[in-house]
Amino acid sequence: GERDPRQEQPAAAGSASGSGPEPWLLRFLVCPLSRRPLRYEEATNELINEELGIAYPVIDGIPNMVPEAARMTHKKPPAEGSEQP
């Protein structure tokens, strides 16, 4: 009775090419910075925080909610000292 651990996975796990987070998961996800709900953008496969203008990438259906991984979605006026040459 050897059990294959791969059979423990749900069948849909293999088809995670560019798929977003699970719908039930989205209800619980909030931005770690603002504690506000995030909107999933299917076109870019990102979780968007409209309020702060940042987007978290979703890799293989897993949101990367690290602030360092987020990108700005719209140009803000540059704050002093934050402009990169």
The answer to whether the beta carbons of residues 17 and 59 sit under 8 Å apart is: no
> For the chain, which residues make up each domain, given as ranges?
23-72
CATH ID of 23-72, from 1.10.600.10, 1.10.390.10, 3.30.9.10, 2.20.25.10:
2.20.25.10
Q: What is the DSSP string of 48-78?
A: EETTTTEEEEEETTEE---GGG-EESSPPPP
Interval 28-40: pLDDT, tens: 899 999 999 999 9
Interval 13-22: pLDDT, tens: 444 445 788 8
Q: What's the average pLDDT block by block, 10 residues per block, for the chain (85 residues)?
A: 60 53 88 93 94 94 93 71 59
